[in-house]
Structure 1
Amino acid sequence: MTVKLSLSTLSDAAKTATIPAYDPQKLSGGIVHFGVGNFHRAHQAIYLDDLFNTGADHDWAIIGAGILPSDQAMRDKLAAQDFLTTVVEQDNNKTAARVTAPMVDILPVGDASAIIAALADPKIRIVSMTITEGGYFIDAEGHFNPNHPAIQADAASPDQPKTVFGLILAGLKARRDKEIQPFTVMSCDNIPGNGHVTENTVCGLAKLSDPAFAAWVHENVAFPNSMVDRITPATGKREIDLLATEFGIDDNWPVFCEEFKQWVMEDKFPAGRPALEKVGVQFVPDVAPYELMKIRILNGGHAAIAYPAALLDIHFVHEAMEHPLIRAFLAKLEKEEIIPIVPPVPNTSLEDYYQLIERRFLNPKIGDTIPRLAQDGSNRQPKFILPSTVDRLRQGQDIKGLSLVSALWCRYFAGTSDSGKPITFNDASAEKLHAAALQAKDDPAAFLGFDEIFGAVSGSQHFRDRFAHALQTLWREGTARTLQLYLDDAL
């Protein structure tokens, strides 16, 4: 017999899961968050749930917001259970469920008037977002792209915004006009300098229609940088059934994640913030070292194993790490090419950090999938892999392993695994990448013509030569043999 999750059934859910120590109905919103996906509910929402459980800061609850069709599905499912979420934390030695309640509402999806009204409310002091790496309208070099059609549309009609950034600007303008202190804008996405990137996009969009307002935003709005970390797979029938079977809870959209979590932030919140340092958030003067470490070693590691695993018909991440060639490939790549160019991090051993990452990737309970890691490569490669390539090229160092990662990505986009099984793409640029990958079988340079992805890297003859050799070897020898040649220093 399962318990249908809701406020009225919390006492029943408490038989198998931890429930809030606070009364969710007595919370009030202080944060509007765009992108109420799994990662947000397993990360930012968990830290707030922990804080609320101490009895503190109950005026900092989350009000969700969204503009995409997937946001509507999330709103419908969470509203049906009073915006509660069951989070299942899984370690090798234990599995535990907790019902979280830091979210009090999700605004009508895509309703600009309702969203702007919420953003203009003086009670809202932080606007945060997890909108994925591809949601910031930036190019391969990390610069704001003012020519994107969605940006152009918002610039032409700033009073009828359709992007997250247009809505944020409309909310800030309403606050300015009413002489209400501006909220802090806090990115929770895996982008180097995510606060700077967010500021550049917000101010860049404002400048297209109102340069004076753009200057006001730059001078008055805080955009703290942050580093966020928790491996959080997508939710499917498997997770919903596991929760019902093992914990007796019927949740429309539960979240399964690893036990580990980390959040490092700059303390730049002029309008105030919740006391998150009480529940493990690190506030530091400079996030950049932590952020670079995580993006290069963890996210870069995910990107490195995704495509050889997909080409070898491996579905789960832990199974990829159990494959001796893939695990050895990742270790060699990290230790020889990635870690050596990661700057020092305060009180942190990069070698120990990699060992932690390896253990996390090996966790079989997470059920993280290779298709999740392989999706959206056109946005992830320029942020997680190619920056390491750029840095090594600038230092005159070899990029044999990093070029192989790029070649594996190209080979993946040819559309079939080594065994001939079709590959399903999940990438906004899939069609053109697929066509270029097929052409690259005979002309490797055909895949490197996407400036928005490869940027200046494609202009390096050394990279082009390494990429071409790796790709030709993959087609001739197959993935497993190519990995072995790399491990033998024979590639």
Structure 2
Amino acid sequence: MAIRLSAATLSDLPATVTAPGYDRSVLTPGIVHFGVGNFHRAHQAMYLDTLFATGRDHDWALVGAGVFAGEAQGRAVLEGQDWLYTLVEQEAGRSAARVIGSYAGFVPPADGPAIVAQLADPAIRIVSLTITEGGYFLDSNDAFDAAHPAIVADAAAPDAPKTVFGLMLQGLRARRDAGIAPFTVMCCDNIPHNGAVTRRTLTGLARLSDPAFADWVEGNVAFPNSMVDRITPATGEREREILRTEFGVEDGWPVFCEDFTQWVLEDAFPLGRPALEDVGVQFVPDVAPYELMKLRILNGGHAAIAYPGGLMDVHFVHEAMEHPRIRAFLRKLEETEIIPNVPPVPDTDTAAYFDTIEARFSNPKIGDTIRRLCLDGSNRQPKFILPTLRDALKAGGSVTGLALESALWCRYCAGTTDSGAEIAPNDPNWDALQAVAIEAKARPRAWLEQRAIYGDLADAAPFAEAFGHWLRLLWADGTEATLDAYLAG
């Protein structure tokens, strides 16, 4: 019978499962984290757990926070397990399970006063974020969207905020008024220049109601940029069952991930930080080259295999990589249009970096799904694909494959696969996207006229013409034949 995970059962864990290598009773909070999801628990929380096991920095434990009532379910599971969970790292020929103990608590989600009180605690010196690419209130030009309804609401009622940024501002105001130094804001989302983006959103919201306070935030709060990487699929019954049967542990919210992990971070922490360099975090003066490489080659690569996989009824990512046409499409697109638009990265061979990514995508143990990669294209495409497209156009390079990727996304949003199976809604803007995708079947330019996504790219003739060609071919001949046409040149 599997052992139910809790603090009381740590000593009873099977020998194949590693328990936290430190006394959790000595941990004290130092970081509040917004967005307690799988990626964060496989990444930042894992690094801290590893660091704590070295015997140091036990005053940097995590406290979770969130603004959505739906996050209460995950919190309840973790609370019932004394804030413990199991992390399973998987390679093709190996799996290893360890219990992560770096959490000290989790403020009830959407409890504004409790969250602000935690943020105002002098012991909290870092506030970190994994709130997804769409959580930063950006417009199609990646500028702060002051007209977003949630921002308008927080600006009108700054003492009763509902967004992460409104809550952080209220916490910072409480610290300033009490003479407590401001915490550092550490974004860990996949956004270019993520620290700078977070600064713009936070100060932009503050400026709508209190310009003087916005100036104080601008001048006193640190926002280090970072690059984070680890493939981490969603948790379902498949993962819970594997943990029960193969490792003998009952865990309501385990995390499965690949063995590979990377974190590149700028060293800008006025109130100090954990010694993460001791456990593999790379501190550099400028994250931008690493960040751009990862966003374009890895995240752009995910987008490249997602939509043909979705249209061809492929379920798992590794199964897409087993399909010769999809794998060949990915490699040709990377080598001819993506990698040539990635500037040099210190001490890094970008071609070798892609080879590693190709192997990571092919890992059959991960169980990452094509549907997860297809999720939220309206936020992900402008960050992972369109910047490469713009640079390729400026350089006079080919955009044929990038146009095909965009056409595949459009065809996916029409809501049916090549076999006629229905695609369930998979984007916050699904209804609007589907209506435009159906219109684009007869008039492809309709898709590119979504200015909130494409900006002025609809006016770029090489892109628009290639997009229209590929979309018509996708509807006429299907995905496999279209990929064959692209691969044949």
1:446: Cα distance to partner? 1.2
**What SS does structure 1 have at the residue aligned with 2:18?**
coil
Per the TM alignment, residue 445 of structure 1 is displaced from its structure 2 partner at its CA by: 1.1
Per-residue deviation, residues 280-306 of structure 1 (Å, max 9, x unmatched): 000000000000000000000001110
Matched with 1:282 is 282
Match of 2:485 in 1: 485
Superposition TM-score, scaled by structure 1 size: 0.99
The equivalent residue for 1:90 is 90
Q: Taking every aligned residue pair, what percent have the same amino acid on both sides?
A: 63
User: What do residues 110-133 of structure 1 show as CA deviations (whole Å, max 9, x unaligned)?
Assistant: 011000000000000000010000
Q: Which amino acid aligns with 2:327?
A: R
Please give the residue correspondences for 1:334-345 in structure 2 after superposition, counting only pairs within 5 Å: 334-345=334-345
Query: What secondary structure does 2:385 align onto?
Result: helix
Cα deviation per residue 1:296-332 (whole Å; 9 max; x = unaligned)?
0000000111000010010000000000000000000
Q: Map 1:131-142; keep pairs closer than 5 Å.
A: 131-142=131-142
Give the match's secondary structure for 1:424.
coil
**Match for 2:324: what amino acid?**
P
For residues 244 and 449 of structure 2, the distance between their equivalents in structure 1, rounded to whole angstroms, comes to 49
Check conservation: 2:32, 2:127, Cα contact below 8 A. Answer: yes
Q: Deviations over 1:21-77 (max 9, x none)?
A: 111121000000000000000000000000000001000000000111331111111
1:317 aligns with 2:355: no
Instruction: Write the distance in 2 (CA, Å) between the matches of 1:155 and 1:28.
Output: 33
1:411-436 alpha-carbon deviations (Å, 9 max, x no partner): 00111110111111221110000000
Relative to the length of structure 2, the TM-score reads: 0.99
Q: How many angstroms apart in 2 are the aligned matches of 1:395 and 1:140?
A: 22
The answer to whether the Cα contact below 8 Å between 2:154 and 2:166 also exists between their aligned partners in 1 is: yes
Secondary structure in structure 2 of the residue aligned to 1:238: helix
What residue identity is the alignment partner of 2:3?
Answer: V
Alignment of 1:248-397 (within 5 A): 248-397=248-397
**Per-residue Cα deviation, 1:75-97 (whole angstroms, up to 9, x for no partner):** 11110100101000001121000
Between the aligned partners of 1:456 and 1:251, the Cα distance in structure 2 is 49
Does the residue aligned with 1:447 lie in a helix, a strand or coil? Answer: helix
Equivalent residue for 1:5? 5
Distance in 1 separating the partners of 2:464 and 2:142: 22
Q: How far apart are the structure 1 equivalents of 2:52 and 2:14?
A: 17
Q: Which amino acid aligns with 1:482?
A: T
Which residue number corresponds to residue 428 of structure 1? 428
- Tell me the alpha carbon deviations over residues 385-417 of structure 1, each in whole angstroms, 9 at most, x when there is no partner: 011001111112220000000000000011111
CA distance in 1, matches of 2:458, 2:114: 45
Q: What letter matches 2:367 in structure 1?
A: G
Structure 1 distance, partners of 2:297, 2:458, is 23
Aligned residue in 2 for 1:475: 475
Structure 1 residues 184-199: aligned runs within 5 Å: 184-199=184-199
* Distance in 1 separating the partners of 2:227 and 2:55: 26
Query: 1:241, 1:17 → 2: CA distance?
Result: 15
Superposition deviation, residue 160 in structure 1: 0.3
Question: Paired residue for 1:455?
Answer: 455
Contact 2:14/2:247 (8 A) holds in 1 = no
| Aligned equivalents of 1:375, 1:402: Cα separation in 2 | 18
State how far apart, in whole Å, the 2-side matches of 1:379 and 1:434 are.
15
How many residue pairs get matched?
A: 489
Q: Distance in 2 between matches of 1:231 and 1:141?
A: 27
Residue type matched to 2:395 in 1?
Q
Residue ranges of structure 2 left out of the alignment (5+ in a row): none
Instruction: Report deviation, 1:455.
Output: 1.4
Q: After TM superposition, give the deviation of residue 16 of structure 1 in Å.
A: 2.5
Tell me by how many angstroms 1:12 deviates. Answer: 1.1
- The one-letter amino acid paired with 2:112 is A
The separation in 2 between residues aligned to 1:398 and 1:5, in whole angstroms, is: 53
Alpha-carbon deviation of 1:463?
1.3
CA distance in 1: counterparts of 2:389 and 2:171, whole angstroms: 39
What CA distance in whole angstroms lies between the structure 2 residues aligned with 1:142 and 1:283? 26
CA–CA distance in structure 2, aligned partners of residues 159 and 252 of structure 1: 36
- Displaced runs of 4 or more, over 2 A: none
For 2:480 and 2:265, the matched residues in 1 are separated by 41
Shift of 1:464: 1.1
What is the aligned partner in structure 2 of residue 178 from structure 1?
A: 178
- SS for the counterpart of 1:182 is coil
Q: Give how far 1:172 is off.
A: 0.4
Equivalent AA in structure 2 for residue 33 of structure 1: H
SS of match in other structure, 1:200: helix
Superposed displacement of residue 14, structure 1: 4.6
| Partner secondary structure for residue 127 of structure 1 | strand
Matched, 1:51 2:51: yes
Cα deviation for residue 358 of structure 1 reads 0.2
Deviation string, structure 1 residues 146-198 (Cα, Å, up to 9, x no partner): 00000000000000000000000000000000010100000000000000000
